[in-house]
Amino acid sequence: MTKLLGILAIIAASVALSSPARVLCYFASWTVYRPSDGQFNVSLIDPNLCTHILYAFVGLNENGTVWVMDDWEATGLGEISHLMSLKQQNPELKVLLSMGGWNEGSEKYSKVAADPEKRAVLVQSALGYVKEHGFDGFDFDWEYPGQRGGDPDIDPANYVTILGELKSALNAEGLILSAAVTGGVASMDISYPDIAAVSDNLDMINVMAYDYHGSFENFVGHYAPLSPSHLDVTEEQQQLNVMAGLRHWLDQGADPTKVNLGVGTYGRTFTLADASNAELYAPVNGGGKPGPYTGLDGTLGYNEICLFNSDWDYIWDEEQQVPHLLSGDQWIGYDDTKSLELKVEYAMNSYVEGVMVWSLDTDDFLGACGQGKYPLLTAINNRLRAN
């Protein structure tokens, strides 16, 4: 009997690894306004590289209603309708409406989640907007309960409550509820002390396993290392990586069949204080120089990195299993096809059944770097299907 159970377990694991995997792709709506070859719109999306596309973002009004941040882009330009039309090319595609994001903060979400009447308004408003426009579900991206203006004493419990109310209403209509959640161990312990309850009240969990380091710090660090470095000496430092973040979600009770490992198609950059010291934790003078498309200090899209920085010194970190580029006092930590394949492999070996990608617009969607269109997203799909 024991031998039979062991055989069945092996078969179950094999089926889990070979079953069709999810690939969730965020469409950042504001990228329609980027200049020249950085401009991105729905017509440039390959719907066969994603199982789900998430429209980011709508916001939250203080009374609990959905706030359409850019109605001109959403309905004036018809981008929501254009997203739905992608189902003609891929009938299995699911399109979700995403609410929140970093710029929304936490304060409004904390207040609405604490008020039963406002929660009810949010549920009905979100459900109404989803059904009106033909979305297949709703993605709740509160960053983060108990932090950034939220209340750490009541937000975690209220977060579970509001997820439960959203899930009940959406599932009753055959619709999906997902949430984007932090991949930082210390952060998740504040926001989600009961991870099992969070998991129970979601259909999908999108773990943002990136932005562990960036120009918000005064030293060099890769934005999404797979594993720790020997230079990570404190417990907190040793937890700022993909393996630790994903493992904590699973160890604390998240259902792996619901989890999607979040990966990035961009990099975090630094201006070194001393060009001769480019090691991890080297001092910096802020973020690196902005790119022509994203236009932000400290951040570059992969489409900018591969096109404008390909002649820089390429360094592969064997410990952290990620690359960075170096030129003078400029340091770029990012993901390439090699590092993303390793992350996907780790996710699958953890019996996680999906990958989430932030975001479509910073992959090389035009194929300008000679690797074909969407080299990062293609590498993710190829690695998933190799099993």
Decide if 143 is catalytic: yes
Helical segments of the chain, H only: 2-18, 71, 79-85, 107-113, 116-133, 155-172, 185-191, 195-200, 235-238, 242-251, 302-308, 337-349, 375-385
Q: Which two tokens stand for residue 266?
A: 């961009």
Which residues, including other chains, have CB under 8 Å from residue 356's CB and lie 6 or more apart? 24, 25, 26, 180, 206, 207, 208, 260, 261, 262, 263
Pairwise CA distance, residues 76 & 68, whole Å: 12
Q: 146, 152 in Cβ contact below 8 A?
A: yes
Pairwise CA distance, residues 226 & 209, whole Å: 9
Per DSSP, what are the bridge partners of residue 139?
98, 178
Catalytic residue among 73, 79, 104, 143: 143
Active-site residues, by number, are: 143
